[in-house]
Chains A and B, each alone.
Chain A
């Protein structure tokens, strides 16, 4: 995730905001770094400490992170910078009032700032919530599980197919409109369902999601659904499917509109100290030219990730990603920074229950380019 932000376009704000962002992010991360990390994970009680004393009626979560990136052997075009250090902070807050719920997530880094989620919800019955606002597109597992919380991910990077719009992603990650979600109890298990509909992104040198603070551009509708079965409801294991239909307006010279179908299946399974996560995503696009001509294309992407907890503090992780049928894909040609294939290995060390250090090395293939990459990240969650 962070590596891709290096390549992000600076499209939203003038230089003074950029400087302000950098100052805020650096300040908060510096303060967060000073928080003692002496209670190194030593067992269950070492992981837990009293919390809940924020004095706020809801729950506030701060996800600060600092990511260092080093790239080498970029060939043949050297599209990306050779290195960078990116501090960021993701602020999340949620609260309930009677049958209503508010949920907001704001990400600020030296590369971007965005109101990632801003949702007003109403509980309907015992198991469902109807949301209005900007939310994460319920496509696949990764996008709904980790959002922008770097600490929650074992890896530093997101899979290429799940990359955010601002980071060169090819699938809409955010919609602004209505979201219906809930969990239907099935014995000990649960069926987790989500249906969303709203304004999607436009293509302007990459996908550009609807921005609540600076609305504008030409938006067309998108709908999506996700159905996941959890053998133990709210547990770690989940198996599911999802699908989406997006109409995307394009500002590219050769493409006026894109009609996109996405279908995916995913599985997340914990076996003792081993955690397996895999998704397969099929994308079918119809590109309309300004002259009315239509081009059809499709591609398939799959990734598999294996995590092995050596002990409560150390986790080894590996991931393989691959895209099939994407070589001459005209839709993917509009996303030169999309990571088509990646071999990744890494390790995470949890300093305590709120701080983690990660080291990750990968070999990435973009369209007509490839490189090696080493990343280091400190991430945390407070309080």
Chain B
């Protein structure tokens, strides 16, 4: 009986530990905009088109995409989970789409502070950020989740 109770406790601890670990490594990539913005939620497909330079109108809004390249990891997740292509392919595809159909390539930011400032000052702009980055900034809000999961 004692042995059984001990095994149960160890199992419970392992379960709680695994849950905590999952919670730690779990990431949410969200579409972020200014807290003053009335931007509607965009599907992953709509976000993908927008970040390829295709103009989009939704709920009376014309979202302007800002490409977040401030961190290699977030850019890689964006490429894999939203754009579905490599960095090379994304670069040539944005040029190709604009060159073929018109439109405008997204402006890119390699500095997070500058990106956040631009987002806050221009309510029509959107970008992708980690959920905790949005939570940490009062001037921003998450429109919807683009991807959620654990990073390998």
Contacts and interface: CB of A to CB of B under 8 A. Distances in A.
B45 A235 contact: no
B105 A51 contact: yes
Q: Name which of A44, A101, A147, A152 has the most chain B CB atoms within 10 A of its CB.
A: A44
Contact of A44 (B75, B105, B106): B75
A201 B55 CA distance: 33
A233 B85 CA distance: 12
A236 B45 contact: no
A134 interface: no
B52 interface: yes
Contacts of A126: 57
B110 A121 contact: no
B98 A59 contact: yes
A140 to B, nearest CB: 14
A381 B103 CA distance: 17
Nearest to A105: B99
How many interface residues does chain B have, given as a range? 35 or more
A134 to B, nearest CB: 15
B88 interface: yes
A52 B105 contact: yes
A50 B79 CA distance: 17
Contact of A48 (B93, B97, B104, B108): B108
Contact of A234 (B54, B55, B91, B110): B54
A38 interface: no
A49 B85 CA distance: 18
A52 B98 CA distance: 13
B93 A236 contact: yes
A227 interface: no
Given A152-B95, A236-B93, A144 B108 contact: no
Contact of A52 (B48, B87, B95, B108): B108
A61 interface: yes
A188 B89 CA distance: 18
Contacts of B5: none
B85 A61 contact: no
Interface in A70-124: 92, 94, 96, 101-103, 121
A267 interface: no
Interface in B56-72: 57, 67, 69, 72
B22 interface: no
B102 A121 contact: yes
A96 B102 contact: yes
B83 to A, nearest CB: 9
A312 interface: yes
Contacts of B99: 61, 92, 147, 149, 152
Contacts of B85: 235-236
A234 B88 contact: no
Given A126-B57, A152-B95, A50 B107 contact: yes
Contact of A47 (B52, B57, B88, B105): B88
Interface in A19-54: 43-45, 47-53
A104 to B, nearest CB: 10
Contacts of A320: none
A48 B87 contact: yes
A51 B110 CA distance: 10
Contacts of A185: 45
B76 interface: yes
A92 B89 CA distance: 21
Given A48-B67, A50-B110, A152 B75 contact: no
Contact of B108 (A50, A58, A61, A309): A50
A144 B84 contact: no
Interface string A120-137: 010000100100000000
Contacts of A233: 45, 49
Interface pairs A-B: 10 shortest CB-CB: A52-B107, A44-B87, A94-B102, A59-B104, A103-B102, A48-B69, A101-B102, A47-B87, A234-B52, A45-B72
Interface of B: 45, 48-49, 52-55, 57, 67, 69, 72, 75-76, 79, 84-89, 91-93, 95-110
15 contacts: A43-B87, A45-B69, A47-B91, A48-B87, A48-B110, A50-B108, A50-B109, A51-B108, A59-B98, A94-B98, A94-B104, A101-B102, A233-B49, A235-B84, A353-B91
